[in-house]
Amino acid sequence: GENVEQHPSTLSVQEGDSAVIKCTYSDSASNYFPWYKQELGKRPQLIIDIRSNVGEKKDQRIAVTLNKTAKHFSLHITETQPEDSAVYFCAASMNNFNKFYFGSGTKLNVKP
């Protein structure tokens, strides 16, 4: 089955700096890659997703890039704010109805 690895496990940045979280996947059949943000004690919430026919997608301060050849994708957060502090999970799936294989999570701490 699919194996998703996520790095780093923790990331601390200064407010206003950029943050990058990277994930790799093993199954070349995976074609849907969502990112979830989970604040302490709350549910994971979808923040952005990308399909394999697109190399990059952007939504305000958040962007995701995908390299199908290398089988890796990354989350980029620019101009970080304290409210960006949370655990971020990447996932891979053959589509968004099938099982998601989640990465182990990255705890992002944005210092004011």
Partner 1 sequence: DAGVIQSPRHEVTEMGQEVTLRCKPISGHDYLFWYRQTMMRGLELLIYFNNNVPIDDSGMPEDRFSAKMPNASFSTLKIQPSEPRDSAVYFCASTGLNYANYGYTFGSGTRLTVV
x/- letters, 30..69, toward partner 1 (CB under 8 A): --x-x-x-----xxxxx--x--------------------
| Segment contacting partner 1 by CB under 8 A, of 23-31, 60-68, 76-84, 103-111 | 103-111
Q: Which is nearer to partner 1, 19 or 33 (CB)?
A: 33
The residue whose two tokens read 């995908």 is: 66
27 interacts with partner 1 by CB under 8 A: no
Residues contacting 3, CB < 8 A, separation 6+: 25, 26, 27, 101
Q: Does residue 96 contact residue 33 with C-beta atoms inside 8 Å? A: no
Q: Find the binding residues for partner 1 in span 73-102 (CB under 8 A).
A: 89, 96-97, 99-100, 102
DSSP 52: T
Q: Which is nearer to partner 1, 41 or 112 (CB)?
A: 41
Q: Which of 77, 74, 79, 64 is nearest to 17 (CA)?
A: 79
Measured CA to CA, the distance from residue 90 to residue 101 in angstroms comes to 8
Q: Which residues bind partner 1 (CB under 8 A)?
A: 32, 34, 36, 42-46, 49, 89, 96-97, 99-100, 102-105
